[in-house]
Amino acid sequence: MHRRQLLCISLTLAGLSGAAAANEAVLNIYSARHYQTDEALYANFTKQTGIKINRLDGKEDELVERIRNEGKASPADLLITVDAARLEVADSLGLFQPVKSAVLEARVPAGLRTPTWFAFSTRARVIVHNKADVKAEWVQTYEDLADPRLKGQVCMRSGAHPYNLSLGAALIAHNGEAKTEAWAKGLVANFARAPKGGDTDQLRAVAAGECGVTISNTYYLARLLRSTKPEDQQVVKALGVVWPNQKTWGTHVNVSGAGVLKHAPNRQAAVKFLEYLASDEAQAYFANGNNEWPVIKSAVAANPALDALGSFKPDALPIGDLAKTTANAQKVFDRAGWK
């Protein structure tokens, strides 16, 4: 599902009548996860529980602003979004409420949850290079991308994008703000072009030789690996993948997650849905349907593209702590000129 202006899938949530809500079990979700493959998650939850899902899809900032404007009158029970930075924005605005659930505490690892929101899938941010132009040994760490020998070789999406801000927050946590700013300035000096497009655009640019190296979330790579289109297979053949920082702090990992909203009218149904997302069934679907790693290790995933990417050492920073540093990362990137 592509991003677009706020669209209600089932019916207009703000127009739910008190009578309708009272006559049937419902759950009202505001979602910034725009993956068509998620439809099965919603359908299976309703089939198992009888709880009808009304969903409002939109961009992250628009949904957060809508929830703020609706206040106590908001019909929304849950906010689902991608990236810890976005979850932290909502949390810092006081939009979530604490959730105590023995199921969630037992199944979701402590480093992938906070008192108010929970991660349900993970994706790693890897270095991808053109095998003909950039040697793998040149780009073994994120820090290597600032090396002057890569001048004119780096393609990146915007420094204001949450995926990169979360990576910046990790670099600040491990290396300090001053070293991260120096890294960002070196990175900008190596740009082959001004930042534009998404991760898939960067991958295609590297494969085409427009630049030599980029950073991408793994699920974009897995999509290309699973594609049967000849042009996608040509992209894959040109690319090499490096798990960054395996000899230091590990590869940066980010999440998709959700939290129960402060004024949720259907709190019990919301918690039940969070618990469903932590089930083996839902977890396997994150992996097989959208090429993300489950947070539950017992979940069975049969995704050859993820298997092909291999194993790696992830960064062990608690995701909640990481999220709180993204505002500093934005300031660092702004000073470095990474727009």
Can you say which residues are annotated as belonging to the binding site for Fe cation? 34, 219-220
Q: What's the DSSP call for residue 316?
A: -
The structure tokens listed for 202 are 């960067």
Q: How far apart, in whole angstroms, are the C-alpha atoms of residue 182 and residue 199?
A: 24
Alpha-carbon span 93 to 107, nearest angstrom: 27
Separation CA 134–CA 173 (nearest Å): 28
Tokens of 129: 């290079």
The angle subtended at Cα 95 by Cα 92 and Cα 97, nearest 5°, is 100
> What residues form DSSP beta bridges with 130?
239
Contact 152, 210 (CB under 8 A): no
Dihedrals phi, psi of 242, to nearest 5 degrees: -120, 130
Binding residues: 34, 219-220
